[in-house]
Structure 1
Amino acid sequence: MNVIEAAKAYVNKMIEESEPGMKLLLVDKETISIISMVYGQSDIQQKEVFLVERLDANKPTQGPSLRYLKCLVFIRPTQQNIELLCNELQNPKYGAYYIYFTNILAKADVKILAEHDEQEVVKEVQEYYIDFLAVNPHLFSLGIPYSMTNSIWYAPALQRSVQGLLSILLSLKMCPLIRYQGNSKLCKDLSFRIKEVIDKETTLFSFGQNGNALLLILDRRDDPITPLLNQWTYQAMVHELLTINNNRVNLSQVPGISKELSEVVLSAEQDAFYAENLFMNYGEIGQNIKDLMEQFQIKAKGHQKIESIADMKNFVETYPQFKKLSGNVSKHITVVGELAANVTKYSLLEVSEIEQEVVSQNDHSGHLQNIKKMINNMSNIRDADIAKLVMLYALRYHNQSNSETNRLVAMLKQKSVSEYYIKDIYNILEYAGTHSRQSELLNVENAVKITKRFFKGLNGVENIYTQHKPLLHETLDALFKGRLKENLYPYTNQYQTNGRPQKVIVFVVGGVTYEESLTVHTFNKNFPGIQIILGGTTVHNSKSFLEEVERSIRNKHS
């Protein structure tokens, strides 16, 4: 199971199976991101697609006719897109249209399109199930920034989640058993909506009910800890400190940045170094960057020695690869340099150590004193980081009689910490306090003591290793050991498994994190007999997670 391969297979089929010749790709605001996650612009152009346009762009009503061009339409089956496409077909600009929808298309919409195709320019209408963002081979997102309001689904987010999960199942040819987190109405509603469509679309899901395939739907509120922690692996660090948006990282705020590096693409499909280092820790990344630069310098010296016609010919032939390697080296040195600057400037190693102690050790007095000490000496610490420390403390201790959450909040106010972050402390308790959680996150008996490991060998890089494991690790471990309790994670159907599942899709309502992606990667690596794919309404860093928390609580009180 590989969501990137599944998405690329559909894109290849769409581009290659139409008639040969120059093509234009007509997309919507979401499908352009879906394609860009698995294909670079130059890769698309090599397949005779010379132009990509938006269906919803403001185009002149009397533009030039391009009847010699074939138009590949790749859009989501929304009402707005159907209307826009009908307008396009009434006054066709291109000679032939091959239409591909990312999801199940209603028969009524097929009829409407046929009625508007008066000039019979439509050659093909098909459903190609890529209604998701393929992030890593085992990770997908639906790009939904917030999913609930007042502890119930935000209606458009529910509909989008149903469509996204159906497309994942269809693209991977799965008709799984469905289990969901029992205390979550959001998980239950989504599970039964999906079951309803599967039961209705029996022809589409004719792969057969497979007791060894499972869709497990979880609620972000059961683990509010993981999205709040600082991260120490490459992909997760970049997202936490710089933010990854559809494989792109905006570096325009970096002082002295060149125009070429103001926005960089980090795609495992297009960047071998990134693919190899996604899950490496901070210290290992520093060493690998050093090795990459040394390899480049050796090649650069080789290029400088042009002493004959043969040397010139060799240089011309290898220059594109050399230039690409040069760009890759510059990109990663810039990104890692910015990560290092953030770590030092904001004392993130020190902050992270206390975070890990709070979530991993049983020492209320020690935790309290360390947080107070950090608040009193927070000259180099950001408001967001100190507030997240208090949030972690509050999530663990707020219901205890000796809790000093309110005292810590008062200290933050004395230090003029932004009111936004003060509110977030209470928001997180309302969003995901013990009343919302099915699992006991901070079970001291299961806690693993923090360990430090410093990676030495590269000046200026120290990597702290932490032992925090997301709740997802415990859930998957119980699932594969046959210990995931049915009263806590019920089935939507009466089918029972013939054994433990071998193919599992885990979907988290309220968003996933790259730390959880690492957990799934590790399970897949350590247990070759199982395949797990992780998805969520979005992929969170702490900033986007707190924005979703604030939005859901604000709507609750509005």
Structure 2
Amino acid sequence: MPLYGESFTTWDSASFTRTVDGLLSVLLSLKKKPLIRYQKQSAMAKRLATEVQFQMQQEGQLFDFRKSDTPPILLVLDRRNDPVTPLLSQWTYQAMVHELIGIRNGRVDLSAVPGIKPELKEIVLSSDQDAYFQKNMFLNLGDLGANIKSYVDEYQTKTKSNMNIESIADMKRFVEDYPEFRKLSGNVSKHVTLVGELSRLVDQGNILEVSELEQSLACTDAHNNDLKNLQRLISSPKVSDASKIRLVQLYALRYEKFQGNAVASLIDLLYKNGLSEREIASLDTLMQYGGASQRQDDLFSNESILSRGRSALKGLKGVENVYTQHQPQLGQILEQLLKMRLKEASYPFVENPATAGRDRPQDIIVFMVGGATYEEARFVSMLNAATPGARIILGGTTIHSSQSFIQELVQTQRRMPSHGTDSARGRRSQGGIALQ
């Protein structure tokens, strides 16, 4: 079911009805009648927020819950305000699986993995039913590998096995050589297989190097260095076409207003390296969707970067350091909301509350029109753990990977009445990309 109507500012009618019904169902199940705030610049967020408010009033008896001292907040946001987060490579377990393989209704299809055993061709990832996954879903790949290694080491000690295990590949061989370990370890052998496949895909796609440049583009302002590295990676046969496109998309977003930006020459370089016109056209689509003129907030201001620290992937040979500086813009919005500093001029209430509505909220339900990400889900989990008394829930029209995010935009643009047959070369000065 498509999300958008005939533009990036309008709902598909069936999708709108389904989203309203879904949000109302969530509120009823949680027994919450929230105050509703929305992102002012987003017509879709405003329409959704207004309709949910209207339906709560129409169904007053259903929403007649005991009032709390601090009313819950439903915050309706729009993905357009942060198109960077869904474009980035991920390094925590759940997010990596979704980005590199895909999670659909809690299931992961591993049938394409080389040498996969029949019982592992499709696996279930559920934080409710899988204690190991629940414990490790937000860990980075290195820490995850170290956790699995300690489990294998414990088994080796019990069985007096002396196989030398130093890498993820060694663990995969150990699981294959010791079928009794698979029986005893239950879910752990499943995760050894999954982590092994993630490691293989990281190596195959040169993702560590790609991710380092992604992080630089998302979090720092170093044009000359970024451009040099981007030109090198576009010309590298080790980097996938999808990664090359994403890097240019991030560059175009970051340096859209920079007078010396090199988007035109980068597009030419993409063509020279064999990318198709159809692939390259997605750059123009992204800028029409989430360029500076479409965003409410300054995505690249220093204020929007919550952390510039580095985080190391450690624990096993074969897993190197990588930048993980980026924090989703949602983090800043939620921190401002919890500190009661979120500007009403930018995030107004559907109905102005009494003074009680301006107290620090305890229960916050965030809904992202255009799709949330597992990186944002991880941030919400961390914020819940770090903020006593806060209970934040994140939802959205979907959970995006970089691939699904761009696919949704491209498919929407093809349905637009104004969509024509101009080439990507002919359109590349549009969509707010400043070309020199």
TM-score bracket, normalised by the shorter chain, equals 0.7 to 0.9
Select 1:289's aligned residue among 148, 151, 156.
148
Select 2:116's aligned residue among 251, 254, 257.
257
CA displacement, residues 98-151 of structure 1 (integer Å, 9 cap, x when unaligned): xxxxxxxxxxxxxxxxxxxxxxxxxxxxxxxxxxxxxxxxxxxxxx66345412
Tell me which amino acid in the other structure corresponds to 1:524: N
Displacement of 1:222: 0.4
- Bigger strand share: 1
Select 1:539's aligned residue among 399, 411, 428.
399
Q: Which moved more, 1:361-370 or 1:508-517?
A: 361-370
Q: In the alignment, what sits opposite 1:234?
A: 93
Q: In the alignment, what sits opposite 1:473?
A: 331
Q: Secondary structure at the match of 1:464?
A: coil
Q: Residue 434 in 1 paired to residue 289 in 2?
A: no
Q: TM-score, normalised by structure 1?
A: 0.68
Select 1:551's aligned residue among 406, 411, 414.
411
Change in 2 beyond 3 A, CA 1:326/1:226? same
Q: Within 5 Å, which residues of 2 pair with 1:109-508?
A: 146-150=3-7, 151-208=9-66, 210=68, 211-297=70-156, 325-376=184-235, 378-444=236-302, 446-447=304-305, 451-496=309-354, 497-508=357-368
Q: Distance between the aligned counterparts of 2:307 and 2:3, measured in 1?
A: 34
Contact 1:293-1:329 within 8 A present in 2 as well = no
Tell me which amino acid in the other structure corresponds to 1:334: T
Q: Distance between the aligned counterparts of 2:217 and 2:306, measured in 1?
A: 11
Q: Which moved more, 1:265-274 or 1:176-185?
A: 265-274
Change in 2 beyond 3 A, CA 1:324/1:147? farther
Change in 2 beyond 3 A, CA 1:520/1:149? farther
Q: Secondary structure at the match of 1:215?
A: strand
Tell me which amino acid in the other structure corresponds to 2:387: F
CA displacement, residues 307-346 of structure 1 (integer Å, 9 cap, x when unaligned): xxxxxxxxxxxxxx98664442221111100100011111
Change in 2 beyond 3 A, CA 1:492/1:300? farther
Q: Distance between the aligned counterparts of 1:148 and 1:465, measured in 2?
A: 38
Q: Distance between the aligned counterparts of 1:453 and 1:507, measured in 2?
A: 29
CA displacement, residues 349-391 of structure 1 (integer Å, 9 cap, x when unaligned): 1000011111111112221111112222x11100000110000
Contact 1:187-1:218 within 8 A present in 2 as well = yes
Residue ranges of structure 2 left out of the alignment (5+ in a row): 162-179, 420-436
Q: In the alignment, what sits opposite 1:512?
A: 372
Q: Distance between the aligned counterparts of 1:249 and 1:418, measured in 2?
A: 29
Displacement of 1:446: 4.7
Contact 1:281-1:463 within 8 A present in 2 as well = no
Tell me which amino acid in the other structure corresponds to 1:441: L
Displacement of 1:243: 0.4
CA displacement, residues 491-549 of structure 1 (integer Å, 9 cap, x when unaligned): 11132315111100000000000000011011100002111000000100001111111
Tell me which amino acid in the other structure corresponds to 2:293: H
Q: Secondary structure at the match of 2:37?
A: strand
Change in 2 beyond 3 A, CA 1:331/1:494? same
Contact 1:146-1:551 within 8 A present in 2 as well = no
Select 1:526's aligned residue among 360, 372, 386.
386
Tell me which amino acid in the other structure corresponds to 2:97: V
Contact 1:232-1:465 within 8 A present in 2 as well = no
Q: Secondary structure at the match of 2:77?
A: strand
RCO greater where, 1 or 2, for CA within 8 Å and sep 6 or more?
Answer: 2
Q: Secondary structure at the match of 1:212?
A: coil
Q: TM-score, normalised by structure 2?
A: 0.86
CA displacement, residues 41-99 of structure 1 (integer Å, 9 cap, x when unaligned): xxxxxxxxxxxxxxxxxxxxxxxxxxxxxxxxxxxxxxxxxxxxxxxxxxxxxxxxxxx
Contact 2:213-2:226 within 8 A present in 1 as well = yes
Q: In the alignment, what sits opposite 2:173?
A: none
Q: Distance between the aligned counterparts of 2:328 and 2:397, measured in 1?
A: 18
Contact 2:217-2:250 within 8 A present in 1 as well = yes
Change in 2 beyond 3 A, CA 1:174/1:456? closer
Q: Distance between the aligned counterparts of 2:307 and 2:385, measured in 1?
A: 24
- How much is the aligned-residue C-alpha RMSD, in angstroms? 2.0
Q: Distance between the aligned counterparts of 1:329 and 1:352, measured in 2?
A: 28
Q: Distance between the aligned counterparts of 2:157 and 2:267, measured in 1?
A: 55
Contact 1:191-1:217 within 8 A present in 2 as well = yes
Q: Distance between the aligned counterparts of 1:297 and 1:177, measured in 2?
A: 55
Q: Distance between the aligned counterparts of 1:468 and 1:512, measured in 2?
A: 16
Contact 1:347-1:381 within 8 A present in 2 as well = yes
CA displacement, residues 228-270 of structure 1 (integer Å, 9 cap, x when unaligned): 0000000000000010111110010111111101111111111
Identity %: 45
Tell me which amino acid in the other structure corresponds to 1:292: Y
Tell me which amino acid in the other structure corresponds to 1:431: Y
Q: Which entry has the higher C-alpha Rg, 1 or 2?
A: 1
Q: Within 5 Å, which residues of 2 pair with 1:7-156?
A: 146-150=3-7, 151-156=9-14
